[in-house]
Structure formats: structure tokens, C-alpha cells
A and B are shown apart, each in its own frame.
Chain A
């Protein structure tokens, strides 16, 4: 029974591994690539805070995703997660900007279509809206942070060597926050679809009682951590050296702005606070960390050089990804669910 459960969970764990290998690089890429922070330090901080974020703050986005479609059978959850993972793999191989969040949303819609479960247009609109708000908000945060940091650094009399030390510490703190937010926000992509399909009793771990949901988040967090440890170094060095070369100060701003966005879209506390003051609740859904990063980089670019610096080709590619990723993922999910149900004779829904 446990073995069957683990077998079906493998697609989610693979998704977690892939997330750890790729997305941790967005957090510590510049710091490690420029040798300001050792990979070991970056990996330890990433793993600890990703797991912490997943277990402590993963609930909000998971429920947000569950509102789109509550996958209620393990075989169905396996296929949904596998379809999303394969879509991410394909699109990455073709060099298209891809988001695990968009892939999982597409795969759930595929499950809805296959099981004739209606997709709530309000929920879908809310989720799709965050794909746009995420990068835009990251861009705005990055602009504001950049203006503040520029004012402080350029007008300060802090010695260059102390500034060097502060920048490194700021990168570590922002990295820890980024890792926490990534864990809290993106764990839904890794384990979200398995929540309804698995009934796990609460267990005690090191003096803490973890609910079944939290145990799945812990497992997903560990899968992400394995991805960080085994594969993210190469990606970090690529981000630090080749793709977009950021100065350490800009890297801090990008990481902090991205982390803020991911935190906002995963914090139940913040959403409740909004409601308590009469504002609409924040949609708690997984957002793309990579696209939020791009938004933050564009934000800094806008402050530095105006509209001319925007790479419209890249924005076009991201826009294409918003359509292509869920469509591809939904189609794959539909086809694979058909095979799972009719060839492997496994129930994919109640």
C-alpha cells in the first residue's frame, strides 16, 4: 500500500526535484555564480527554508489550486502531476519560458475535462490573473526597492568594504526569504493535487504534530531539497555567469521583490488581514517564480533605462507560454488519463 502510494507520488516528487534544480538558481544564482556565497551555504539555506515554507505556509496555495479541481484519486493525481512535469520538460527542451504553476493548472483543467467536472470560470480567471499580476507586481516592487536602495547607497558614507559585507548579508537574508516563499507558494505545484486523493493520519515528528497535508508538504519539500542539492549548482553557475548578469545589489532587489510576490500570493494571514479591513481577499495560488524574476529585472531596467530596454521578444515568448503551457499540459493530461483508466484500469476519479 505504501509502495503503491509512493509510486503514484513519484510524479509529484519528480516535479519537486525539477523545481529545486531550477528555481533555487533564481534565488542564489548571482550570489553563487559570482562566488559571494558558497554553494554549500546557499544549498543549506535554500533547503531549510523551502521545507519550512512548504510545511508552515503551503496550505493557502494548495487550497487555491484545489478550488480549480479537486483531484480525488491517486491515479488521477499521478497523471495530472506527470502531465505537468512532462510539459515543463518538453518546453524547457525547446527553450520556451515555462512555469510549473501554469503547467499544473493546465493539467488540472485536463482532469476536469476528462472527468466532466466543471471548471469554475471565476477561479480560473483569478488564477490566470495572477500570471499577469505576479510579474507586474514584482516589477513594481523591484522599482520601489531599487529607488530606495539607490538613495541609501549613493548618499551614504558607508565604507566600501562594509557595504560589501552588508550586501552579502542582504543576499543571504533575501535568499532565505525567497526560499521560504518558494516553498510556501510552489509546494502546491508539487503536492497540491495529491491532497484530496490521499488520506494520511496526523503523525508526530520531533515533538511537532504534522497533519496529513503537512506530511505531504514535508515530502515535497524534501524532493525540492534533493533537487537543490543534486542539480541546482550547475544552473546557479549558468544564471550567475551567462544569462542575465546582475550586480550583487540588483540581485538582492530581484530576489527580494520576487520573494515578496510569492509570499503575498501564499500568505493566508495577509489575505485574512485584507478581508478584515474590507479589501477583497488575495488569490492564494501558485505563481511562476521565474516570470516574477523577469518582471523584477524589467522593473530595475525601467528605472535605469526607460522603456527602450524592454525585450518585447522575451515578453512575447512569456505571453505565448501563458497559452501554450496550459493547453499542452491539459491535452497531455486528458490523453494520459484516458490511458490510465482504459488501459491500466485505474480509477482516476470518484
Chain B
């Protein structure tokens, strides 16, 4: 009977581990689809772009459902309150990443800003680096769960990509406002606005990664 009781505990921990893993995979998937969606948009493949939005919307819905399960099980089965609180906060923060990618893609779909040819390469590069920041963040999150020592290394990568994104963003905005190819100020402001929003994805990743460092330090004995 006692053995059975311990077995139940072990299964519950494994169940929660699987739920968290599933949720993390959804966050990573959403960011990868965001990258592909941006490539489609910049290249003018609007049908594929709309299809990607549908995929990201589905992932976001499923991730919300998974997050609810994770939160419930965290309170039901996790024992160290401090660690439980940290994991809870982390899961909530990661939800912001998915929500943000979905919202950004929907805004693009609704507003349909025109990106002139001369900024497209840099725009793609900025999107790629923003997604790399998310990917490094996700590696750091996974390291928190099983290899705490590696968290700092992944966090440093996240911060690096965020800085790269900032650098590209600044160059892009300067060129947009200096360019005679875009005569309308409203268009310039709209492009600037989207550049800033795309760059914000890496800012969100950086903010989460800074919290993650604190959680990692607390976990180290």
C-alpha cells in the first residue's frame, strides 16, 4: 500500500513534468511559426501568412489550456512553496510571449503595413534575431528545470540577441525616416511602430530571462 502511495506521487510529478514540457514546446512552436509568418509577410505570400496566423492562434489556445493544467498541478503536487511560486510566475511570463506573437501577427494582418524593399533584409534579420532571443530564453528555461548551471549561459545569449535587435531596429528607423522613397509621414510612423513592436519580442524575452537568473540563483545550493 505504501509502495503504491509513493508510486502515485512519482506519477504525479512525472505528469506535471510532461505538462510543463508540452507547454514549453508550444511556446517554442509559436515563436518559430512567428518567424515563418514574418518571412511570408515580407515576401508578400499573404495566403501562407494567414495560414500561419491560424496555426499560432491554435497554439495559443492550446497553450492557455495547458497552462491552466500546469498551474493547477503546481499547487496540487509541488511541495516547496518558494520554487512553486517561481515556476508559476515563469509559466505566466511565457504566456506573454505566445500572446504577443499572436497579437503582433493579427495587427500585421489587420493594418497591412507596406515594408519598402530597402528595409526587407534588415527586417528579416531583426525578426530572426528576435526569435533567436526567444529560443535562447527557452533553452534557459529548460536548463532551470534540469541543469541550473547552464541558465546563465543561455540568458547571456538572450541578452546578446536583444542588443542585436535593438541595434538593427535603430538603424532601420533612421533609414526609414531619412528615406525619400516613403513620402508619407504616417507610413513612416506606421513602419517605425511595427519595427518597435517586433523588437519588443526580444525585450520581453530579456525581461523574463532576468527573472530566470534570480530563480536559478535561488535554486543553486
Contacts and interface: CB of A to CB of B under 8 A. Distances in A.
Given A35-B81, A36-B79, A165-B13, A160 B87 contact: yes
Interface stretch (B41-49, B144-152, B174-182): B144-152
Q: How large is the interface on A (under 10, 10 to 19, 20 to 34, 35 or more residues)?
A: 20 to 34
Nearest to A300: B221
Nearest to B21: A159
A203 B79 CA distance: 44
A34 to B, nearest CB: 6
Nearest to B87: A160
SS of B interface (majority): helix
Nearest to B219: A160
A314 interface: no
Q: Which of B10, B80, B147, B149 has the most CB of A within 10 A?
A: B80
B52 to A, nearest CB: 33
A150 interface: yes
Contacts of B78: 161, 164
B221 A146 contact: yes
B80 A159 contact: no
Contacts of A157: 146-147
B186 interface: no
Interface residues of B, number: 22
Given A146-B221, A160-B144, A161-B17, A34 B149 contact: no
Contacts of B144: 160
A249 interface: yes
A158 interface: yes
Contact of A158 (B10, B79, B80, B146): B146
Nearest to A167: B80
B118 interface: no
B23 to A, nearest CB: 13
B153 to A, nearest CB: 15
B81 A36 contact: yes
A292 B29 CA distance: 53
Given A161-B13, A161-B16, A162-B13, A153 B221 contact: yes
B76 interface: no
Contacts of A146: 221
Nearest to B13: A161
A159 B81 contact: no
Contact of A164 (B80, B149, B221): B80
Given A153-B221, A154-B221, A157-B147, A247 B13 contact: no
Given A167-B80, A168-B80, A248-B80, 8 more contacts: A153-B220, A154-B148, A154-B220, A160-B83, A160-B87, A160-B145, A162-B17, A165-B79
Interface of A: 34-36, 146, 149-150, 153-155, 157-162, 164-165, 167-168, 247-249
Interface of B: 9-10, 13, 16-17, 20, 78-83, 87, 144-149, 219-221
For the complex of A and B, list the 4 residue pairs with the smallest distance between their C-beta atoms, beginning with the closest. A150-B221, A153-B221, A160-B145, A168-B79
27 contacts: A34-B81, A36-B80, A153-B221, A154-B221, A155-B149, A157-B147, A159-B13, A159-B17, A159-B145, A160-B145, A161-B20, A161-B78, A161-B145, A162-B13, A162-B17, A164-B13, A164-B78, A164-B80, A164-B83, A165-B9, A165-B10, A165-B13, A165-B79, A167-B80, A168-B79, A168-B80, A249-B221
